[in-house]
A and B are shown apart, each in its own frame.
Chain A
Amino acid sequence: MSALAFEQVGVRYGDVAALDDVTLAVPNGAVMAVLGPSGCGKSTLLRAAAGLEPLASGRVTLDGRDLAGVPTHRRGFALMFQDGQLFGHMNVGRNVGYAMRARHAGRAETARRVAELLEVVGLAGYEHRAPATLSGGERQRVALARALAVSPRVLLLDEPLSALDADLRARLAADLRRILREAAVTSLLVTHDHEEAFAVADRLAVMRDGRVVQEGAIADVWAHPADAETARFLGYARVLGGDAAAAVLRAAGTAGGPSAVALRRSALRVDAGGPLAGTVRTAQAAPDQVRLTVDVDGLGTMDAVAARGAAPAVGDRVRLSVDASRTARVGAGEPG
């Protein structure tokens, strides 16, 4: 059953509809990522769940109970922001224990729980550090520990990893996934970064212009983007339709009706025995492969990759094969 549900929720800022008829359900214990470009309304969705934005229409429910009239502090949620938002005038221990104290938990119990949580996020013994002395990643870990302190009914995460550099983001994403699984807490995570979404969540909702355009298990959404724009937002480099799509599908050796196909940058690979042919237009070396753009006969300009060392030069004729696992069928949408 779903723990947190939005039913035809609308939120307006003056004349602008920030959320427009959003219906979405987060199953109990699931981690759902809401993915969308900035300004699509995903943060508003989070704030509406927390009770920080008044609804213009619809309702938000928790275990079937309408949350209208329940103020933020009685919802039993926890909110974690992009930059942690630790309370700068309290040390790490007091930050983590904040919710415990708000609920008048005993000193000893609070201290024990704080130590336990800091252990979970890998910061054992950090109780007396000031937030200002922590690195960005450490601050986010403390923020996570603080959010988990009172076993929230729902955890709301607003771009929790976006402020970190790439390397740290990957490591913390894996930790976040593990910690959320172990705590078995229903979570709603909003992000504009599809990698962050894939690394942490098991369900995905894609938002655009205040509406949810697609929702489902993360692998399903990944494999079947609803439309071309969604596919591009999920990190697909190109979306082909009509004859071009058919040609790619044939080359990939998969049958299928007339549908649009989305390709990742690495879907076409230089392969002497490949079914497609084209002329190399540009070549750029990357650490593990060479990225090409190729004028493919009958398809137009496409991205492709070649192994380092065996890379062709600009102007060379090459043959290409299609890696079916790096393509996706695009739903009913228009090819672009």
Chain B
Amino acid sequence: MDGRDLALSARRAQGRRLATLAALAALPLAVLCVFFVLPVAGMLRRGVVVDGHVDLGAVWDVLARPRTRRVVWFTAWSAAAGTAASLVLGIAAAHALYRLRTPGRAALRAALTVPFVLPTVVVGIAFREVMGPAGPLAFLGLDGTPVAILLALVFFNASVVMRGVGSAWQSMDPRPAEAAAALGATPWRVLRTVTLPALGPAIASSATIVFLFCATAFGVVLTLGGLRYSTVETEIYLLTNNLLDLPAAAALSIVQLMMVTTLLAVAGRSRRRVDVARVPPRPRGVRRGDAPAVAATLVLAALVALPLVTLVRGALRVDGGYGLDNFRALQTAGPGDALAVTATDALATSLRTAVDATWMALLIGIPIAVAVTRTSRSAAERRLRGALDGAFMLPLGVSAVTLGFGFLVTLDRPPLDLRDSPLLVPVAQALVALPLVVRVLTPVLGGIDEHQRQAAASLGAGPLRVLATVDLPVVWRPLLVAAGFAMAVSLGEFGATSFLARDDRPTLPVVVYQLISRPGAVNHGMALAASVVLAAACAVVILAVERLRVPGMDAL
């Protein structure tokens, strides 16, 4: 072969690689365009386009409103404070439960994971039970204050930090820290100058993702903040749903989209690997100096346990005693048949929807994860795969409310008249769950040495056989985990579902919200009982996949 033939064949190989990439990405991209870009763009257009031409003045007016500034400011500082508190408790718990031989650490780690997948509405109700007039912490007078919202944000997110930082810490080479200690550095100095800098990427990546979760929290803020404390996310909901002020909602959506894109870019940059020890260090015994970390972990455990225990106790309380009446009432449509369906019917709808959303999320997520983890041969190819990776993270940060309402305003006419389709809700939920699915799968797929695939290919295995013999054996457990996350997310999804669920086919979170919005002890008791059922369903799913011990789970 002369030089020209070589160049030609190289170009052909490059062409084949790109063709494979395109084939893998085609369906997911089509889904993303129709069910994400189109609705979100439709939503934004309503805000920006007035009488057929673009009018950014309206957007500017909205941003200049004092209330908007208050909302943005509240979003920023509550997310920052929630992130900071989650970091403190999460890093302490990572130390206590991943680096030390604390008794019961495996069980505690699993238990602390549960909050992450609990439906936000349920958590909001549980915190109201704790802080409310009859709750165990009523004396603190935190009901209806931003502190309650902050605590709920920490409830959700401290475990995200714990897992992200903990898994890096667990496999971190302990010898630099030992060398520093031998050089005379106190434990505190070792932590500050060696350990935390080494954990920097893991901490930064957890912090950005947690900030993202805090800044876009919906259910907890809506149930705990009401109208007084609104974040950008709940404000979009209120503007869209209650005030029908679409330009304002669109303006806020644009703000949110820009913020989220920036954060995702930062998160992508900080997603570097920590130096991993060849032999993971054994966890060491607990010493006196570990007291602060252990104490912080106990505080976190209490913060997680208290709302859940209070919720269960409230659900069991009837007329001064305890009983299962509230749970029995779930088979009815509430006092005066106020609900369109019984709560048990809603649970059945939720489960069916969750199954649909799960297979959809996997169907889209798997090809994406495969496409973005294959090694790139050129800088352009690497950028292409990076962009693909980023594009499918977007649903993480776009308001589920924007997405839900966008569905309503864009998918309402042929050829895409899906308003009555039973698939509308699962599609929206699948998009919300998609980033988690991709996040669980990519570290595992990316961790498979390309040489193994090349070795298999050189032994005569075609691409499908390589997939079946090299990738699948490593990836089936992460697949189950991804499915579990998708299922739990779908079971608890409220933001988009609240728009899209038809009145005669509500999911359980929607019913819970309807119940809690109505006065009366029976409605309240039913709301608590339904919350317990919903939380239990999510907890069962996530504890089942937690047992699979998949590395990618921690990297979320």
Contact = CB atoms under 8 A, between A and B. Distances in A.
A101 to B, nearest CB: 8
A146 B176 CA distance: 12
Contacts of B180: 87, 98, 102
Given A52-B178, A85-B176, A99 B198 contact: no
Contacts of A89: 197-198, 200
A80 to B, nearest CB: 7
Interface in B430-447: none
A203 to B, nearest CB: 22
A150 B180 CA distance: 12
A194 interface: no
Interface string B372-400: 00000000000000000000000000000
A88 B275 contact: yes
Q: Choose among A54, A102, A146 the residue with the greatest number of B CB atoms under 10 Å from its CB.
A: A102
A77 interface: yes
A73 B178 contact: no
Chain B interface size, as a band, is 20 to 34
B40 to A, nearest CB: 40
Nearest to B182: A79
Q: Choose among A52, A78, A80, A103 the residue with the greatest number of B CB atoms under 10 Å from its CB.
A: A52
A87 B182 contact: no
B194 interface: yes
Given A50-B178, A52-B178, A79-B179, A98 B198 contact: no
Interface in A90-118: 98-99, 102-103
Interface string A39-79: 00000000100101010000000000000000111111111
Contact of B187 (A50, A73, A80): A73
A156 B176 contact: no
A98 B182 contact: no
Nearest to B188: A73
A89 B173 CA distance: 15
Nearest to A81: B175
Give the dominant DSSP class at B's interface: helix
Contacts of A146: 179, 183
Contacts of B178: 47, 50, 52, 72, 79
A149 interface: yes
A78 B176 contact: no
A79 B173 CA distance: 15
A99 B197 contact: no
Chain A interface size, as a band, is 20 to 34
A246 interface: no
Contacts of B173: 85
Interface in B165-184: 173, 175-176, 178-184
Interface string B279-321: 0001001000000000000000000000000000000000000
A147 interface: yes
Given A81-B179, A85-B176, A87-B180, A73 B185 contact: yes
A178 B148 CA distance: 65
Interface string B189-208: 11001100110100000000
A73 B189 CA distance: 10
Q: Choose among A50, A52, A73, A81 the residue with the greatest number of B CB atoms under 10 Å from its CB.
A: A73
B452 interface: no
Given A85-B176, A102-B189, A78 B183 contact: yes
Given A88-B275, A89-B198, A99 B175 contact: no
7 contacts: A50-B181, A73-B186, A73-B189, A79-B178, A79-B182, A87-B180, A98-B180
Given A85-B173, A89-B198, A98-B193, 20 more contacts: A47-B178, A50-B182, A52-B178, A52-B181, A73-B182, A76-B184, A79-B178, A79-B179, A79-B182, A79-B183, A85-B179, A88-B198, A88-B275, A89-B197, A98-B180, A102-B184, A103-B184, A143-B179, A146-B183, A150-B184
